[in-house]
Amino acid sequence: MKIVPHSVELLWITPDPYKHIEMSGRVCYKSEDKITKDSAVKFCSMIKQRGHESVVEHAVASFKIICDRGVSHEIVRHRIASYSQESTRYCNYSKDKFGNEISVIEPPGLTGEAREDWVQAMKWAEDSYVSMLAEGCSPQIARSVLPTCLKTEIVMTANFREWMHFISLRTSPAAHPQIRPIAEEIRLKLADYCPTIFVDPSTTPKPIVFTKEEKAAVLHALRIDGEINPTMAASLLTAMEKMK
């Protein structure tokens, strides 16, 4: 059993994303004549401020991410992306090319007996996996005993708008502690190429938060004969979100 760290590698990104976004976006305004050698960054800043986020979808980036299987399950929930992932159906970790062992990623914060228990559980899982293969099971059957923290490699390709969404959700304090550093590494690598999109505070969507007074005003306005119409309440709150 081998313990490995997570990692993030940028495989490909749209060349000169600022210029590509500007070239695509100016079609909307038929303002191609305003393109200069210095206009792209200013244009991208303008469309971001206006919320014209569909334009940034023209730029794309691909990352190779090494994480555990549990984190990868969260990553692939982002539907507007393409994925290619290391397959436990076809990879036989008892072979020489894998060092005849499984690789795992240690969860954060393990100390003392808790870490000893985790290490022992990983060894039991590996022993059971290798034993099942030796008894004639195929890798796709033997994988049933592999742990959630099994290391996996996954290539994720998405447009910039989806990366903005991914970063917004996965760097949140509410996100899993093992996905947050991955999302932040992705943000930093994208910011090297396109800081206007991935560095400024307005880059990522901020959650809508209503004050107690605002909520009370909505509920009061929708009271009919002392009762609240839930459909009307939902519609009004949605409209308020768009105005914020």
* Helix-helix angle 180-193:160-170, to 10 degrees: 140
pLDDT (average), residues 122-149:
98
Spatial separation of the C-alpha atoms in residues 231 and 137, rounded to whole Å:
55
Predicted confidence (pLDDT) at residue 179 exceeds the cutoff of 90:
yes
Using an 8 Å Cβ cutoff, are 66 and 153 in contact?
yes
Q: Does the pLDDT at position 214 exceed 70? A: no
| pTM, rounded to two decimals | 0.80
Residue ranges of the domains in the chain?
A: 2-86+150-198, 212-243
Phi, psi of 13 (to 5 degrees): -145, 145
Torsion of the alpha carbons at 118, 123, 129 and 132, rounded to the nearest 10: -130
DSSP 8-state symbol, 91? -
Q: Give, to the nearest 10 degrees, the angle between helix 212-221 and helix 230-243.
A: 140
pLDDT class of 225 with cuts at 50, 70, 90: low
Q: Give the C-alpha separation, 18 to 41, whole Å.
A: 6
Average pLDDT of 166-185? 95
Is the model's pLDDT at 223 over the cut of 50? yes
Is the pLDDT reported for residue 202 higher than 90? no
> Which region among 131-140, 149-158, 198-207 has the lowest average model confidence (pLDDT)?
198-207
Confidence at residue 49, expressed as pLDDT on a 0 to 100 scale: 87
Q: Between 104 and 219, where is the model more confident?
A: 104
Q: How confident is the model over 6-22, as pLDDT tens digits?
A: 999 999 999 999 999 99
CB 62 within 8 A of CB 156: yes
Percentage of the chain lying above the pLDDT 90 cut: 78
Tabulate helix, strand, coil % of the chain (nearest 5): 50, 15, 35
Q: Residue 51: pLDDT band by 50, 70, 90 thresholds? A: confident
- Report the pLDDT value the prediction gives residue 154, as an integer from 0 to 100: 98
Taking the C-alpha atoms of residue 198 and residue 19, their distance in angstroms, rounded to an integer, is 16
Q: What is the pLDDT of residue 233?
A: 62
Residues 60 and 14: beta-carbon distance below 8 Å: yes
Q: How far is CA 165 from the centre of its chain?
A: 8
- Catalytically annotated residue among 161, 170, 187, 223: 170
Confidence (pLDDT) at 131: 98
How far is residue 146's CA from residue 182's CA, in Å, rounded to a whole number?
Answer: 23
Q: Where are the alpha helices (DSSP H) in the chain?
A: 17-29, 39-49, 69-75, 112-134, 139-142, 160-170, 180-193, 195-198, 212-221, 230-243
The verdict on whether 50 is a catalytic residue reads: no
Out of 3.40.50.300, 3.40.1640.10, 3.30.1360.170, 1.10.275.10, the CATH code matching 2-86+150-198 is: 3.30.1360.170
Mean per-residue pLDDT, 166-175? 94
Choice among 55-59, 178-182, 212-216 with the minimum mean pLDDT: 212-216
Written as one letter, the residue type at 195 is: P
Q: What mean pLDDT, rounded, does the chain reach? A: 89
